[in-house]
Structure 1
Amino acid sequence: MSNPLPRGTHRVLPGVALLTAALLTACSGPPQAATSAAAGFPMTVSSCGRDVTFDHAPQRVVTVGSVAAPLIAAAGAADRIVTRTFESAPFPGEYADELAGIETTSRTGEIAREEIIDRGPDVVVSFEGAAVTADDLAQVNIPLLVSRGYCRDAAGSFDDIFADIELYGRLFGTSAAANTEITSLRQRVDEVAGRNKAHTPLRAAALIISRDGAKISAYGRTSTVSSQMRILGLDNAFGDSDIRYSEINTETLIDRDPDIIVLLTQGEQTPESVRQALRERPELARLRAIRDNRMIVVPFGYTGPGPVAVEGIEVLDRELGALR
């Protein structure tokens, strides 16, 4: 299968190209801009323990998952994204305006390898466990990077989010914008932490309910929402689990009996629909958080391992303030 030229690329006749190059050289002197753009390359970065080398700053990016596009936007490189795909919980938050107008495809299923290739990217930013792997794309010389928060050994920390933004700033040549954004995001997290230092810790559980309401999963200590809980002065009731999130039974939830439940919505779920899904289980009626209506509901996107989690912690802080 032949790869089409990227959108906006035009073939130039050899004679015209030579003449143009000669004129530019004569008129403009040494190619300082090109020399500056090439600074730092080739660049080798580590992605979930796998080294990936770039000869030049990528110009065309396909993102896979809900976190990658906001991360790149936070780094000041949203204009490099040509396609956003497999955003099972599309929620760019405060980065929505920067990402508006970019092609989005395959919201409910993994984009096919051939579709990625057809878009002519020079990098794909994805998550570990996606159907299209680094080995798949290596066969056609397309590098793949994985967001740190989705590596198998990720700690779910804000430091990982900021490290990703810094990395993309270096990779795309937008370090000034990336570092400015990191400084602002860190300050916002510190402000939330400062407001919650004096609070007596409350026991909380972050839960996500399957779309059919049949399954309940809880987030463990390596999730971003668990890091948010610590900053908010909450103890994660499932903080003894090293797994990012896992299905639980109602007996386990009853045994943990959290003071507060944080419910994460996905897809077409609404705050009332997920609250009702818990209330309809009679065995959970005696849980304090349900009995006293101490449930906070936010979109899942507010708790993913990306920059929107900073906006998310601010929202959780406001919601929590009404319950303390």
Structure 2
Amino acid sequence: MPALAQTSYPLHLSNCGVDLTFEAAPQSVVSVGQAATEILYALDLGDRVLGTSVWFSSVLPQFEAVNAGVPRLADNDPSFESVVALRPGLVAVQYEWHIGPQGIVATREQFADLGIPTYTLPSDCVGKDNSTGSDGTRLDMYTMDSLYQGVEELAQIFDVPERGTAMVAALREREAAAIATAGALALDDASAVFWFSSAEMDIDPYVAGQGGAPAYMMQALGLRNVVESNEEWPVVAWETIARANPSVIVLARMDRRRFEADDIERKLEFLRTDPVVSQMEAVREGRIVILDAHGMDPSIRNIDALETLSAALAGFDLQ
């Protein structure tokens, strides 16, 4: 039998503007961001995860057992001290706004000064300007390729490249199948809006702009995004959304309760009772799709979300 592929060390990577060199596979890692956590679990590296943080939803069912044995440093933002206290061989990061040039946890230099390398998922920096606020602005349309790059590079770092290759191949196959299902519908000018949350129920919502993961899903499945902003999650007035009259409304479901509108039941109640929103065609016709909130951020859950949305479109009369 041929030998399994192995990483050749020293491994040199350019990661979100930072040059990294690994002399050997890290023996431990702390994750700051659910997307990074679930990639590590999917690569069967759970035994090296010392702690996790920044959670939107419950861990994927297939990872419940391994996750139960890993300390959670914080539901949301961990402190710099709590991460470095574990002395991890690597910190795997989902968002630059947590660990980056103006990171609210720390900068990458602060970790490097302590001899701790950081790796940021390319999905948060490829074709994106994160200097414009916490969510950043997409300069180029997000594609799954940047997420797949993160999977394969983490697999390389931890000397399990064959696991990364196999995982990406399986995700690509599912991605193509979901797109083909929607393509067969031959949608004609169908449109959508993705509502993530709102700081208050009676003010303008955070919706998906042009370029992020939801925009990629809409483009891939033949839907037009009624929100034209290039911000990742702009605030747009409901009156503006109502005038655009999207064919489909997609809602985020999450465990997080930072805002009142994080609760999916409050979102649904608002759609039914608000004088303006309740008159939208998508609400009256019941063309509402509920997706896992973390599936709206760059993550391996994008494929689950793509499949769910594609299947829902097949049940709507949008021709």
Q: Normalised by the shorter chain, which TM-score bucket?
A: 0.7 to 0.9
- For residues 309 and 273 of structure 1, what CA distance do their matches in structure 2 show? 24
Alignment counterpart, residue 187 of structure 2, candidates 178, 190, 200: 200
Partner of 1:159: 145
Give the greater-gyration-radius structure (CA): 1
Partner of 1:221: 210
TM-score by length of 1: 0.81
- For residues 208 and 187 of structure 1, what CA distance do their matches in structure 2 show? 27
Kindly indicate whether residue 11 of structure 2 is the aligned counterpart of residue 43 of structure 1.
yes
Per-residue CA deviations over 1:38-80 (Å, capped at 9, x if unaligned) read x522222122222222222111111112211112223342332
In structure 2, relative to structure 1, the CA distance for the partners of 1:211 and 1:66 (3 Å cut) is: farther
Task: Report the alpha carbon displacement of residue 270 of structure 1 after superposing the two structures with TM.
Answer: 4.5
Partner of 1:114: 81
Q: Which amino acid aligns with 2:316?
A: L
Per-residue CA deviations over 1:6-63 (Å, capped at 9, x if unaligned) read xxxxxxxxxxxxxxxxxxxxxxxxxxxxxx97x5222221222222222221111111
Per-residue CA deviations over 1:186-231 (Å, capped at 9, x if unaligned) read 0011111111213214111111122642440111222112112222
Alignment counterpart, residue 141 of structure 1, candidates 115, 118, 124: 115
Kindly indicate whether residue 284 of structure 2 is the aligned counterpart of residue 291 of structure 1.
yes
In structure 2, relative to structure 1, the CA distance for the partners of 1:47 and 1:280 (3 Å cut) is: farther
Kindly indicate whether residue 176 of structure 2 is the aligned counterpart of residue 190 of structure 1.
yes
RMSD (CA atoms): 2.1
Alignment counterpart, residue 160 of structure 2, candidates 141, 165, 174: 174
Contact 1:74 1:307 in 2 (8 A): no
- For residues 33 and 162 of structure 2, what CA distance do their matches in structure 1 show? 26
Partner of 1:4: none
TM-score by length of 2: 0.82
Contact 1:93 1:308 in 2 (8 A): no
Partner of 2:253: 265
- For residues 56 and 268 of structure 2, what CA distance do their matches in structure 1 show? 21
Kindly indicate whether residue 219 of structure 2 is the aligned counterpart of residue 230 of structure 1.
yes
- For residues 88 and 197 of structure 1, what CA distance do their matches in structure 2 show? 30
Bigger shift: residues 222-231 or 277-286: 277-286
Contact 1:69 1:99 in 2 (8 A): no
Task: Report the alpha carbon displacement of residue 179 of structure 1 after superposing the two structures with TM.
Answer: 0.7
Q: Which amino acid aligns with 2:118?
A: L
Alignment counterpart, residue 20 of structure 2, candidates 52, 57, 67: 52
- Structure-to-structure mapping, 1:90-105, within 5 angstroms: 90-92=58-60, 94-105=62-73
Task: Report the alpha carbon displacement of residue 116 of structure 1 after superposing the two structures with TM.
Answer: 0.6
SS in structure 2 of the partner of residue 297 of structure 1: strand
In structure 2, relative to structure 1, the CA distance for the partners of 1:69 and 1:55 (3 Å cut) is: same
Q: Which amino acid aligns with 1:220?
A: G
- For residues 144 and 243 of structure 2, what CA distance do their matches in structure 1 show? 30
Q: Which runs of 4+ in 1 moved over 6 A?
A: none
- Structure-to-structure mapping, 1:75-90, within 5 angstroms: 75-90=43-58
Per-residue CA deviations over 1:108-147 (Å, capped at 9, x if unaligned) read 3x21111111111011111110122212212211111111
Partner of 1:322: 315
- For residues 61 and 115 of structure 2, what CA distance do their matches in structure 1 show? 33
- For residues 34 and 199 of structure 2, what CA distance do their matches in structure 1 show? 18
- For residues 302 and 290 of structure 1, what CA distance do their matches in structure 2 show? 22
Contact 1:92 1:301 in 2 (8 A): no
Partner of 2:272: 279
In structure 2, relative to structure 1, the CA distance for the partners of 1:135 and 1:89 (3 Å cut) is: farther
Q: Which amino acid aligns with 1:48?
A: C
SS in structure 2 of the partner of residue 105 of structure 1: strand
Specify every segment of 5 or more residues in structure 2 that has no aligned partner in the other structure, as ranges. 99-103, 130-137
